[in-house]
Structure 1
Amino acid sequence: MNTLKLIRRIIFYLTIIIIVSSVFALTIGQIISVEFRNNNAKGDYYYFAFTSLPICILLSLIGTIKRKNSKARNWTIGICTIFSSVICFFILLNVMFKIGFGAWVNETILYCNKSNNQITINEQIFDAGALGYGSRRIVQTRPFFYYFQTIKQIDTTKLNKDEWKLINKEGDIREP
Structure 2
Amino acid sequence: MISRLLPVLTQERRAATLAVIILFQSLCALFFIGDVIIDLQGGDGRVELHLAIEAAVAVALVAGVIFLMVELRIMLQRVASMETGLRAARGEMAALVDHFFDQWALTPSERDVALMILKGVENETIAEMRGTAPGTVRAQSAKIYAKAGVDGRAQLLSVFLEELFAQGMDTGASMSPSP
Q: TM-score, normalised by structure 1?
A: 0.33
Between 1 and 2, higher relative CO (CA 8 Å, sep ≥ 6) is seen in 1
Q: Which has the higher helix share?
A: 2
User: Which of structures 1 and 2 has the bigger CA Rg?
Assistant: 2
| Superposition TM-score, scaled by structure 2 size | 0.33
